[in-house]
Amino acid sequence: MESNYKEIAPLMMKLKPCVALTGAGISAESGIPTFRSKGGLWEKYDPMVYASIETFQEDPAKYWTIRGEFIRDYDTYQPNKAHLVLAEMERMNLLRHVITQNIDGLHKKAGNKNVTEIHGSLRETYCLKCSQEFIAPHVPEGLPPYCDCGGVLKPNTVLFGEQLPQGALETAYHESTSCKLMLVIGTSAVVQPAASLPVLAQQKGAKIVEVNIERAFPGADFMVKEKASIGLSKILEQIKKIVEL
């Protein structure tokens, strides 16, 4: 079904607090390219090669080539309106949890407290030898950078071919299977296991509201075909109208 804010807003009020699953699309308006962005980083570097654990083990410089710049410019990337709306929804008790595939840390920067970063975060980097932690943007120079102890540094992200952290996965499953409404925002819904979360939510009876510039989750009950900043703002606007009645 195409977007109908007047239907979605009362449903969110009725089924609150909801859970949000987010992907790279929500950060596109913060200037961070998605896998499919035209002219973006990923046209040049195949993520399945550059962001795989096999490649990192063979040649960590490859991963630092694609991620080093973001880590060192960490403070310049800021949440956009879509992240800020989700933070406001959490404060209004409309939203109880954000499950994100993103590794940019922008949900936490926006003020959301209950965030599960299932693919980890570029904010933290650690030494594979002595476990010393570095917080972005404060990471030693070098491609790849090394710790004083001589160990190579690895950002705390889940690479292709690596297991997701068990605790994060359990939280994601728990939140997905116990919510009554899930917002699925800016994800192509192809990377597993994240892609299965809305399916599980729906099997347990939750309604799915997708916010994306193109349909990616055909099973969604409602489709808001807009940029995340616009779609989420309009939903919140409608909710505020109801609250003020």
Binding site for ligand NAD (CB under 6 A): 23-25, 27-29, 32, 34-36, 101-104, 119, 186-188, 191, 212-214, 216, 227-228
What minimum distance in Å lies between the beta carbon of 215 and ligand NAD? Answer: 9
Measured distance CA(163)–CA(149) in Å, rounded: 27
User: In degrees, to the nearest 5, what angle opens at C-alpha 225 toward C-alphas 201 and 244?
Assistant: 80
- To the query of whether residue 107 is one of the catalytic residues in this protein, the response is no
User: In degrees, to the nearest 5, what angle opens at C-alpha 183 toward C-alphas 75 and 85?
Assistant: 45
Do 226 and 62 form a contact (C-beta atoms < 8 A)?
no
Measured distance CA(108)–CA(62) in Å, rounded: 27
Of 97, 107, 119, 174, catalytic: 119
What minimum distance in Å lies between the beta carbon of 161 and ligand NAD? Answer: 13
- Give the contacts of 79 (CB within 8 A, at least 6 positions apart): 30, 87, 106, 107, 109, 110
In 3D space, the residue among 72, 64, 50, 73 whose CA is nearest the CA of residue 128 turns out to be 64
Identify the three-state secondary structure at position 56: helix
Task: Find the length of the chain.
Answer: 245
Of all helices (H) and strands (E), which one includes residue 120? Answer: strand 120-127
What minimum distance in Å lies between the beta carbon of 60 and ligand NAD? Answer: 19
Residue with the CB atom nearest ligand NAD in the bound state? 25
What minimum distance in Å lies between the beta carbon of 130 and ligand NAD? Answer: 27
Q: Which stretches does DSSP call E strand in 35-113? A: 95-100
What minimum distance in Å lies between the beta carbon of 186 and ligand NAD? Answer: 4
Catalytic residue ranges: 119
